[in-house]
Structure 1
Amino acid sequence: MKLKGVKFLSAILGLSMLAGTMGCASAPKQQEAGGQSTQSEKNNTNTAGDSKEPVTLNFWHIWGAETDASYAAVKKVIADFEAEYPQIKIKEDTTENEAYKTKIKASAAANELPDLFSTWGGGFSKPFIEANRVLAIDEYLNDGTKDRLVGGALANVTYNDKVYGMTFGLACGALFVNKELFEQNNIKIPETYTELIEAVKAFKALGITPMSVSGKDVWTIAMYFDAMALKAAGNDKVVSTLTKQGSFKDPEFLSAASKFAELVSLGAFPDGAAGLSKDESDLPFLEGKIPMLFNGSWTAGTVYREDSQIKDKVIPIGFPVFEDGKGNKNQFTGGAVDAIMVNANTKYKEEAVLFQKYFTENMAREGYLAGAYLPAWKVDVDETNINPVTVELAKLISDAEGFTLWWDTLLEGQDTQVYLNTLQELLLGAVTPEQFVDKLQTMYE
């Protein structure tokens, strides 16, 4: 049986681009099983894969930890590529998410990027494009590649009407809930913010930490706040404000900050969360000790690993709606934004683009099977091979109005660091909600 969720992904992705791509411009037949490239792709890369001289491509990415849901999928796709194109070797260099962001920005500024690198579309990669560090690949996409992508899959990597990257998956934010802990303690799984507060208080009364977050890997805090701001303000206001066409002083952002501060004051997050890495903060959740974790859809692959202690206990839900908010249950954070780009100065443009296209198309399938992403390519898979948590995610977003890009992706340059630093201060209680929005407003100065 084919996975029914694939049919609605085209519409969902189209909506997600409208929701999250302010500042970016104006989006291949199913690849054969086993990772084999189509003949048209081979013909249109000027026989790069048939080069008689060995070529080594340096590829930087973030999927180096064995606990990452994408780890095995990335290894498989690279191995399959090297088997099909034995004259091209892929030399990997992996770095943890937050450190990678610093590394790739510094390398782009110094004009020392590798042949290929993983990145994020939207505002994150915009400086690389403006500095002419990334190869525009439009001429390589007219071989049927665009026909194999779902609608809108290239919108977040398109700048000034040119395509600079290839995406492979749609990611979305979700609240992963250990339903067993809720049922055992007779606590209602929350659908509204009021119910979330009731659940937090009930778990705390039992000596159970309600929610997991890492204060050291600040993007995990942002996962929570991005969703809360969306529920408070709605997509249009969030996007217009992040693109400097509004104001953080609007009451909706203060409402989101106040609610986040309330969760902190109630002890929703672990003691000492500010000093925990993501792996450290996730561990109690994965051991079945913490009932809630808000993070990206790739978490589905992690919780359903063979050695998982909670693989049959977790369900994904949307972040609870705010009764006084402008957002609704069908608005989600995320989108098709994880991408692979090619260094404009690589000596091996044909080979690099060949790998870029091969990797993203095959990663769309393998990442889907691993529960890491929903595919941005038109892949056919057997539903029985998809883990149930990912299937539930597909159902959850089937009525999505669209997706709002994560703030640290949509924001540009130093504004991202202003946001993350100030959010960390809010978690620590070092700033009030009012001071928090005041500091965000400095982005406009």
Structure 2
Amino acid sequence: MKAKHLFAGILSLSVLLTTVTACAGSPNASSAQSTENSSQAGTASQSAPAEKITLTFWNNYTNDTQHTMENTIKQWNSDHPNIQIEASSTENNAYKTKIKTAIAADSAPDIIYTWAGGFTEPFVKAGKILPLDDYLNDGTKDKLLSGALTNITFDGKVYGLTYNQQAGALYVNNDLFEQNGVKVPTTFDELLTAVKTFKSKGITPMTVGEKDEWPGMWYYDMIALREGGAQLCLDALNKKESYDQTAFAEAAQKLQDLVDAGAFPKDVLGVTRDESVAMFTQGKIPMYFGGNFDAQVIDDSLKGKVSAVKFPTIAGAKGTDTEYLGGGADALCVSANSKHKDEAVQAIKYLASEFSSGMYLTGGGLPEWKYDSLDQSKIDPLSKEIMENIVKGSTGSVPAWDLYLTGDDAQTHLDLVQSLFGKQISPQDFAKQMQQKVNKS
């Protein structure tokens, strides 16, 4: 779910990483881990194993963001000649199937890219992921932002290191708004007015890659957050509240109101996520709701023309503009079946902290590791806007629902939202089916 550009020289820019390859803290840690030079991030282990070790690492970075990942891995491999990382990237949706199949078959890679929350939980319950608590007593936790481990902690134990959090933003093309005399919306009513005005001028107001399902789900989940508020959404996701209630039906209705108003392309169900982003970056569409991971490519294409603003509020609803869709999302885990657990943990500490700062600097993500020492002038402007105006000072957040829900429940939600876009289901039936199919217990 990410798209960003080459980040060169990231390792030398980040002073956050001065001890990330230090002793991992496990009582059974290998000598390669326990004697790691803590004065420089990325310095080769002083007592690296004589025999060369290869750590396999699977991920879903097949777009521009992979350059940051590639450079980081290249640096690690250069500094650790006896502990090499061999990475393999697979397209987002295919990756989900691939990693689930591999974990079930006990053929997972040493290092696993995953989504924190519901996607990872089944792997943890099946005993397939290595718990990290014994490895984190070396100061690692002190380098992370508050709450960075929340979505990757299950039954009181930590099973991965997050490096990137997500936050939804409404990207607006200021030039198109000004040229057409349209006000940037701060309420849902104003959003509908903007949609209708642009539509009357022959301009497609918004776009979404609903062929891939999850981009459209972001729209629904964001509207549901505005309708019901963060606590209600979290309670429903945790099966403490029913989906079959007014807030969720109203959110479905408002999504269909946008569809009915002509907000999206007519062939919305056939547009991929990458195609939708390209439509916006061509400068012909005024609004796009997406994640912070879209910031770099948008800013590169429309330098200085786009702002990232909060999604509009809904009059009379419980949600506020201090709540956002997102939170800790991307994480690195170690397979419980890895033959090189200590080395893999050593590697994910390094990778996670490097990815956190590197992707923030290049617009690929929002950090989960402390970043106060980074050169703020080098941070992608749109990413900085999102971090400063949407994330900081927030009172609550809810992850995209497909990351929170487990197993088939996530796919059911995606399918039902797609049915809303296709006008194949009513808002009331959407809420009822969410309760019947997802929130059974």
Q: Which residue of 2 aligns with 1:354?
A: 346
Which residue in the other structure is 1:16 paired with? none
Alpha-carbon distance in 1 for matches of 2:260, 2:104:
40
Structure 1 residue 433 corresponds to structure 2 residue 417:
no
The DSSP-based 3-state class of the residue aligned with 1:248 is: coil
Q: Which moved more, 1:49-58 or 1:418-427?
A: 49-58
Contact kept? 2:25, 2:137, Cα under 8 Å: no
Unaligned 5+ segments in structure 1 are 1-29
1:271 has 2:266 as partner = yes
Q: Residue 39 of structure 1: CA displacement?
A: 6.7
How far residue 315 of structure 1 moved from its aligned partner, in angstroms, is 0.6
Question: TM-score, normalization: structure 1?
Answer: 0.89
Q: Alpha-carbon deviation of 1:40?
A: 3.4
Instruction: State which of 368, 392, 412 in structure 1 corresponds to 2:385.
Output: 392
- Aligned residue for 1:327? 319
Q: Distance in 2 between matches of 1:444 and 1:129?
A: 21
Matches within 5 A, 1:28-107: 33=15, 37=19, 40-41=22-23, 45-46=29-30, 47-48=32-33, 49=45, 50-66=48-64, 70-107=65-102
Task: Kindly state the Cα deviation for residue 368 of structure 1 after the two structures are TM-superposed.
Answer: 0.9
What per-residue deviation string (whole Å, max 9, x for no partner) do you get for residues 32-57 of structure 1? 64966457337865314412211111
1:333-360: per-residue Cα shift (whole Å, max 9, x none)?
1001210111100111111111111000
Q: Which residue of 2 aligns with 1:372?
A: 364
Three-state SS of the structure 2 residue aligned to 1:304 is: helix
RMSD: 1.8
Question: In structure 2, the residue corresponding to 1:444 is in which secondary structure?
Answer: coil
Query: Any conservation in 1 of the 2:21–2:350 contact (CA below 8 Å)?
Result: no
- How far apart, CA to CA, are the structure 1 residues paired with 2:157 and 2:238? 20
AA aligned opposite 2:206: M
**2:14·2:357 contact (CA, 8 Å) conserved in 1?**
no
Q: Is the 8 A contact 1:31 1:361 kept in 2?
A: no
The secondary structure found in structure 1 opposite 2:331 is: strand
Structure 2 length as normaliser, TM-score? 0.89
User: Which segment drifts farther, 228-237 or 292-301?
Assistant: 292-301
Q: Do the aligned partners of 2:170 and 2:287 also contact (CA within 8 Å) in 1? A: yes
Counterpart CA distance in 1 for 2:408 and 2:350 is 33
Tell me the CA shift for residue 103 of structure 1: 1.9
Report 1 or 2 for greater relative contact order, CA contacts < 8 Å, sequence distance ≥ 6: 1
| C-alpha distance in structure 2 between counterparts of 1:385 and 1:334, whole Å | 24
Q: Secondary structure at the match of 1:288?
A: coil
CA–CA separation in structure 1 for the residues paired with 2:177 and 2:14: 43
> Aligned residues: percent identity?
39
Q: How many residues are aligned here?
A: 410
Pairing 1:313–2:305 present: yes
Deviations 1:376-415 (CA, angstroms, capped at 9, x unpaired): 1113211111121122112212221121111111112211
* Corresponding residue to 1:422 among 394, 416, 419: 416
Secondary structure at 2:307 match in 1: strand
Equivalent-residue separation in structure 2 for 1:271 and 1:340 (angstroms): 39
Q: How does 1:66-215 map to 2 (within 5 A)?
A: 66=64, 70-215=65-210
The aligned residue for residue 17 of structure 1 is: none
Rounded Cα–Cα distance in structure 1 between residues aligned with 2:13 and 2:193: 48
Q: Is the 8 A contact 1:165 1:339 kept in 2?
A: yes
Q: Deviations over 1:78-122 (max 9, x none)?
A: 111111111122221111222212222222222221111111111
Give 1:324 shift: 2.6
